[in-house]
Amino acid sequence: MEIKVLGSGCPNCIKLEKNVQEALKSIGKEANVEKVTDFEDITSYGVMSTPALVVDGKILFSGKVPSYKKLIELLK
């Protein structure tokens, strides 16, 4: 599983990355989590609002930080 957290480094982007790491740990999954901060890279995904979460090339959401429970659902 390849996970990318797209964002400029704002507090919500940092929170999302931390929550993703914790959710992965709690469900016992390992994944490569990459933080993407380059504006051109972010827009190449068609994302106009950050933070955003991309899993295996698919945008799961953008513009918000989902709940911890929702992240676990998405990453299972």
3-state secondary structure of 5: strand
Domain boundary assignment for the chain: 2-75
Section 46-55 average pLDDT: 94
2 is catalytic: no
pLDDT beyond 90 at 48? no
**CA–CA dist 46, 70 (Å, integer):** 22
Q: Which one is catalytic: 5, 6, 13, 16? A: 13
Tell me the average pLDDT of the chain.
94
Residue 10 is among the residues annotated as catalytic for this protein: yes
The one catalytic residue in 1, 10, 27, 48 is 10
pLDDT computed for residue 58 by the predictor: 95
Q: Would you say domain 2-75 falls under CATH 3.30.565.10?
A: no
